[in-house]
Chain A
Amino acid sequence: MSNLTKTSATRSNGSTASPMATRGPRLSGLNWLIWRQHRAGFWTLLAITAVCVAWLVYQRTDLINQLTAQGWPDSAPDKWLNGEHPERFQFVGVALGFIPIVLGVFLGAPLLSGDLENGTAQLVASQSVTPIRWLATKLAVSGLVVIVCTAALSVAFGRWWGPVKYVPTALEWSDGAAFDNTGPIPVALALFTVVGGVAIGMLLRRTLISMVVTFAFAVVVQLVWSYFRLDLGHVHTVTTHKGISEGTFPQTPQAALEIDHWYISGSGQTYGWGTCTHEVSEKVCIQKFDLVGWKVDYLPMSQMSSMQWFGASILFALTAAVTVFIFIRGRKRIV
């Protein structure tokens, strides 16, 4: 066997004689390792995304055909949005909302816990790469796949919904089905949930239990998010002083979300809109409280984009914080 080592010593670097599957651009180093290790999951994600995007593009074409047949874009579209599209928007919007949860549970949670559980984290750590680089590559490659998938879906869904976004029968813009599936929000929610799952997996070091905990975490994120979603906007107020009889209710911009409305008195005080239900008649009520008009709080649709970017930046900041935590902990002890 000294013969064996002698011949090997003369060959400095290995011949690449061994056959290798070369598909697409050649990856090398850690990128190759991460891609090879998780390629089944990554390809599945990319394939599902491609199918979904194709379907969404087809839906948009179908919608545009339907709309143009009825005179779009010259007249208001709400008169002729019928057929199956409103229902489909609702269904697809809700379904897409589950993507962050699915990504967190099936991509984020096992990402590190699998390696920690099987000892392969030790294996990689005993090669000539630092654990921090391994962590960084792992997060970067997975993050890239998540960003590509969710951004593609966001754009495709946004383009489908775009022509009818002022149509109240399609989707309310403030509704999660629309708000969370367009613009930067899908990317931000998915990234935060995935990175949260990675951190949970890192702490728990067991795949199954970290998937369960990540599921709970992802659901809580969705709940908290939908609870605070509307607080991202800057509420507009409109007041009138033309009485409270029929037809005096103030006009808000098209597709604006009315948050609340009140009666307003001569002295400027507000009364809830149910104030008069206990009075004998509206007239008595008007006299008693000196009601002179309406006050309405609303969020105009023009705020949607800025609300989305504001919300996304909060989520990105949280994602960055969790990532920093992962690196600090990874520096201290990874295996």
Chain B
Amino acid sequence: MDAGGPANEPAIEANRVGMKFRRGWALQDCSFRLPAGRICGLVGPNGAGKTTLMAIAANLLQPTDGTLKVFGAAPESAEAGRRTAFLAQEKPLFRRFTVTETLRMGRELNPGWDQRAAENIVRAGNVPMEAKIGTLSGGQRTRVAFALAFGKRPDLLLLDEPMSDLDPLVRHELMSTLMAEAAEHGTTVLMSSHMLSELENVCDFLLVISTGGLRMAGDVDELRSAHLLLHGVRSDESDSQRQGHVQDVPAELAGHTLVEYRTSGRQVTALIRPDGPVTGQWQAATPNLEELLLSYLRCPDAPPLITFQAHVPGQTYGSNGSRTVAA
């Protein structure tokens, strides 16, 4: 929350980053700052531009618009390349290489290579070192790809859907390794995932993007405490034909920023960013990360929330809570 220490170089600073492909914009007007040393979850619906954002940070793509800096350096600089490791969603590896040769590639191409760390990750999964990559199972291959990313000893680790093809035990084990590694070396991790519940245990920072651009960015606790999840019972005079419409929002919520308002039967659930005390017959609670994320994913029109820690200096952001739901 309060970043007490000296403001050191952010791991990622994106300034109005946009990426246009032939089919249209994959990412638009994305400005945020990821402080160094954070474990950051990157969440968004399919096709929101998560992979594009990571590929830009990993210097696999050049943004159409804006700039992105990795530890203050351009992604294409040698320094940024050395400090960043990227684990792509498909986990590409040379199929005809053995595991040993794959690790040797990491050693040959990375000056700061840590053979022991890489070998330990591979050995923990009982992956035979002399086996060809092409003969390994999907999970074993993911493990080797992980080892390759870890062995590089990066300062910024970009993981694109890292856990999608792992069983729960292995997922847990690799996540623990990841957390220990990150804690030990102060590694910044940016990890995209659809597994919201797992992110909750791991992440202390959050980026939410959807097709429009950045929806939410900031410290997890700060984001959670900025919201209130309200449960209530609908008053009778509302017309049941129009249920679920935002127009039905009770007047007492009008002063707050409304993210989501749902009705099911007579039950009403609302996620708001409170602007002053909430009046009325509501049961209020701080949402957990999953509830918060689901609301934002369900309502792409909700006003974006970028906390101060994620602000890029010199950028103007709508001050929190001052905007209300227009639609």
Chain A residues with CB under 8 Å of chain B are 1-2, 4-9, 11-15, 18-20, 28-30, 32-33, 36-37, 118-120, 122-130, 332-335
**Which of A1, A119, A129 touches B92 (beta carbons < 8 Å)?**
A119
**Which of A13, A15, A18, A333 touches B61 (beta carbons < 8 Å)?**
A333
- Chain A residues with CB under 8 Å of B119's CB are 14, 18
- Chain A residues with CB under 8 Å of B165's CB are none
Instruction: List residues 289-315 of chain B with CB under 8 A from any CB of chain A.
Output: none
In the complex, B27 has a CB within 8 A of chain A: no
- Chain A residues with CB under 8 Å of B88's CB are 119, 122-123, 126
Pair B115/A13 contact, Cβ less than 8 Å: yes
In the complex, B82 has a CB within 8 A of chain A: yes
Bound CA–CA A160/B75 (angstroms) = 56
**Which of B78, B90, B100 touches A119 (beta carbons < 8 Å)?**
B90
Closest residue of chain A to B176, judged by CB? A1
Q: Given known contacts A124-B109, A127-B105, A130-B78, is B116 in contact with A8 (CB within 8 Å)?
A: yes
**Which of B60, B94, B110, B151 touches A125 (beta carbons < 8 Å)?**
B60
Q: How would residues 134 to 159 of chain B score, 1 for a CB under 8 Å from any chain A CB and 0 otherwise?
A: 00000000000000110110000000
Closest residue of chain B to A18, judged by CB? B100
Pair A129/B104 contact, Cβ less than 8 Å: no
Instruction: List residues 182-201 of chain B with CB under 8 A from any CB of chain A.
Output: 183-185
- Chain B residues with CB under 8 Å of A7's CB are 116, 120
**Which of A4, A123, A128, A333 touches B93 (beta carbons < 8 Å)?**
A123
Given contacts A2-B180, A29-B108, A127-B110, 16 further A-B contacts (CB under 8 A): A2-B184, A4-B117, A5-B185, A6-B184, A8-B117, A8-B120, A12-B114, A13-B115, A14-B119, A15-B116, A28-B108, A119-B88, A123-B92, A126-B85, A128-B82, A130-B81
Pair A29/B109 contact, Cβ less than 8 Å: yes
Among all A-B residue pairs, the 3 with the closest Cβ atoms: A14-B115, A119-B92, A8-B117
Pair A5/B105 contact, Cβ less than 8 Å: no
Instruction: List residues 152-172 of chain B with CB under 8 A from any CB of chain A.
Output: 152
In the complex, B225 has a CB within 8 A of chain A: no
**Which of A14, A30, A32, A332 touches B116 (beta carbons < 8 Å)?**
A14
- Chain A residues with CB under 8 Å of B108's CB are 28-30, 32-33
Closest residue of chain B to A32, judged by CB? B108
- Chain B residues with CB under 8 Å of A122's CB are 60, 86, 88, 92
**Which of B82, B86, B109, B149 touches A30 (beta carbons < 8 Å)?**
B109
Bound CA–CA A11/B119 (angstroms) = 12
Bound CA–CA A18/B99 (angstroms) = 11
In the complex, B221 has a CB within 8 A of chain A: no
Most central of B81, B82, B151, B173 by chain A CB within 10 Å: B81
Most central of A5, A32, A33 by chain B CB within 10 Å: A5
A104 to chain B, nearest CB (A): 23
Interface of B is mostly: helix
- Chain B residues with CB under 8 Å of A126's CB are 58, 60, 84-88, 149
- Chain A residues with CB under 8 Å of B124's CB are 4
Closest residue of chain B to A19, judged by CB? B100
Q: Given known contacts A5-B184, A120-B94, A333-B61, is B109 in contact with A127 (CB within 8 Å)?
A: yes
In the complex, B181 has a CB within 8 A of chain A: yes
Pair B181/A5 contact, Cβ less than 8 Å: yes
- Chain B residues with CB under 8 Å of A129's CB are 81, 109
Bound CA–CA A128/B148 (angstroms) = 12
Bound CA–CA A6/B117 (angstroms) = 9
A71 to chain B, nearest CB (A): 57
Bound CA–CA A332/B76 (angstroms) = 10
Q: List 24 A-B contacts (CB under 8 A).
A: A1-B173, A1-B180, A2-B183, A4-B124, A5-B177, A8-B116, A9-B114, A9-B117, A12-B114, A14-B113, A14-B116, A18-B119, A18-B129, A19-B100, A30-B108, A33-B105, A36-B105, A37-B96, A37-B97, A120-B93, A126-B87, A127-B109, A127-B110, A333-B62
Bound CA–CA A270/B83 (angstroms) = 77
Bound CA–CA A4/B107 (angstroms) = 19
A124 to chain B, nearest CB (A): 7
Bound CA–CA A2/B112 (angstroms) = 20
- Chain A residues with CB under 8 Å of B78's CB are 128, 130
Instruction: List residues 17-54 of chain B with CB under 8 A from any CB of chain A.
Output: none
Pair B85/A20 contact, Cβ less than 8 Å: no
Closest residue of chain A to B76, judged by CB? A130
Closest residue of chain A to B84, judged by CB? A126
Bound CA–CA A12/B112 (angstroms) = 8
In the complex, B103 has a CB within 8 A of chain A: yes
Closest residue of chain B to A120, judged by CB? B92
Pair B152/A127 contact, Cβ less than 8 Å: yes
In the complex, B275 has a CB within 8 A of chain A: no
A1 to chain B, nearest CB (A): 5
Bound CA–CA A209/B181 (angstroms) = 43
B42 to chain A, nearest CB (A): 17
A72 to chain B, nearest CB (A): 51
Instruction: List residues 206-250 of chain B with CB under 8 A from any CB of chain A.
Output: none
In the complex, B266 has a CB within 8 A of chain A: no
Closest residue of chain B to A28, judged by CB? B108
- Chain B residues with CB under 8 Å of A8's CB are 114, 116-117, 120
Pair A118/B95 contact, Cβ less than 8 Å: yes
Pair A36/B97 contact, Cβ less than 8 Å: yes
B264 to chain A, nearest CB (A): 43
Most central of B86, B101, B108, B152 by chain A CB within 10 Å: B108
A327 to chain B, nearest CB (A): 14
Pair B101/A36 contact, Cβ less than 8 Å: yes
Closest residue of chain B to A331, judged by CB? B76
Pair B116/A11 contact, Cβ less than 8 Å: yes
Bound CA–CA A186/B97 (angstroms) = 33
Bound CA–CA A167/B315 (angstroms) = 82
